[in-house]
Amino acid sequence: MPQSLTGKCIGLVVNDTGWRNTTAFDLGIQSMGGLCVHAPLRWDTREDLEDLAAYLDNWFDGIVTRAPDLAVLRRLADLSRGPVINARTRHNHPCETLGDLAFYFHRHGTIDGIKVAVVSPESNILGSWIEAAAALPITVVQVYPERWHAPASPADTPRFYTSTDLNEISDADILVTDCWPEEANPEELSRYQITTDLLEQRRPGAEFLPCPPVSRGKEVSAGAMKHVSCRVVEAKAFLLHAQNAVLEQMFAAV
């Protein structure tokens, strides 16, 4: 590993039950020679965000953090002297998408022109794929019942669209799923469950990358998780690689 973070002290400010991204950040920071410190604070406390940013600046060259609201992270980035990396919000989950794209690039040599089908309600995973469609030469389609469609203007994101038609997944290069909405009626969503039969209808070489945590028997069947195209474990290895690249880019020059 390049020792790009030697001499850097980075705060990991995460207080939720997620563990993949944060564990990979901790491992990546240490592997590149940095010091990673878990700071047990929340952004929705009685302390003002401006004060918290100043205290953290005393000790850290930058922070990796999660927050409920993306606006909180943007405000924190404005207030902090060092970089602030978004490890997840309700609106987006950029490192998860970067990891999946890195995995696809590793296997296929390019991401240009690919189609990504996201069988998911409006969510932070879908939000980051929409952001990817705005920034990269890829097309993203959300496939789900209409009442859970993400509001998106074709003028703002011409390479993203919504559909209720499961046939959209047949020519997708990457198929992504996310958890069913808690308030949903299972009967309403059962036809959107990804099964072995649906995966068999896709072309060879297409990737199935269900977003963890996976609920077998809901958004995916148990059989689908064993299908040859399901490479979620291998893809999540690239979560570490993608996050390391972000760390190196953001902190190496600090």
Q: How many residues does the chain have?
A: 254
pLDDT at residue 32 in the model: 95
pLDDT in tens, 204-250: 899 999 999 999 999 999 999 999 999 999 999 999 999 999 999 98
What's the CA dihedral at 233, 235, 238, 240 to 10 degrees? -40
Say what the alpha-carbon torsion angle 99, 102, 103, 107 is, to the nearest 10 degrees.
Answer: 180
The percent of residues in the chain predicted with pLDDT above 70, rounded, is 98
Is 254's pLDDT higher than 70? no
Q: What is the pLDDT of residues 159-206, one digit of tens each?
A: 999 999 999 999 999 999 999 998 898 888 999 999 999 999 998 899
* Domains of the chain from N-terminus onward: 9-90 (3.40.50.1370), 94-236 (3.40.50.1370)
CA torsion angle 74 72 242 250 (round to 10): 40
| Structure token pair of residue 203 | 């072309």
User: Residue 152 — pLDDT band, cuts 50, 70, 90?
Assistant: confident
Predicted local distance difference test score (pLDDT) of residue 17: 80
Q: How far is CA 195 from CA 96, 199, 222, in A?
A: 23, 6, 8
pLDDT in tens, 73-95: 999 999 999 999 999 999 999 99
